[in-house]
Amino acid sequence: METIIIKTDNAENANLLVNFLKNLQYVKSIILKKREESNNKPLTDEEWIKPGRQANKEEIEALIYKSEKSSTLTVEESKDHAYKLIDKWHKESK
């Protein structure tokens, strides 16, 4: 027996697909898993880099606000900072 996991774009299409699959003779069983509520919670600071879902409007606004309020660096300051981090990394990796 083989197992297939299918993700659909919405619940209505999932139900249509399930009803179709139920009519196939060689389909042994179907389990329709509802969307988990945990996927709907706002992302934390640590989760911003995780793939999986698009940020909602509030999260985008929060990111823009946080970016606008953060300190800005000149190009040279940014380069100097990057070079310092690279040097530190090289020293630690030896």
The DSSP secondary-structure symbol of 9 reads: S
What stretches of the chain show up as alpha helix (H) in DSSP?
11-22, 57-69, 75-93
| Surface-to-core class of residue 93, CB atoms within 10 Å of its CB (0-12 exposed, 13-18 middle, 19+ buried) | exposed
What is the rounded distance in angstroms from the CA atom of residue 10 to the CA atom of residue 13? 6
**pLDDT for 49:** 62
**pLDDT for 84:** 92
**pLDDT for 20:** 93
R_g of the chain computed on alpha carbons: 23
pLDDT above 70 as % of the chain: 80
> Max Cα separation, the chain?
67
> What residue ranges do the domains of the chain occupy?
1-35, 41-94
> Would you say the C-alpha torsion 41, 45, 50, 53 has a positive or negative sign?
positive
What is the rounded distance in angstroms from the CA atom of residue 35 to the CA atom of residue 11? 9
pLDDT-flagged residues of the chain (< 70): 35-43, 45-53
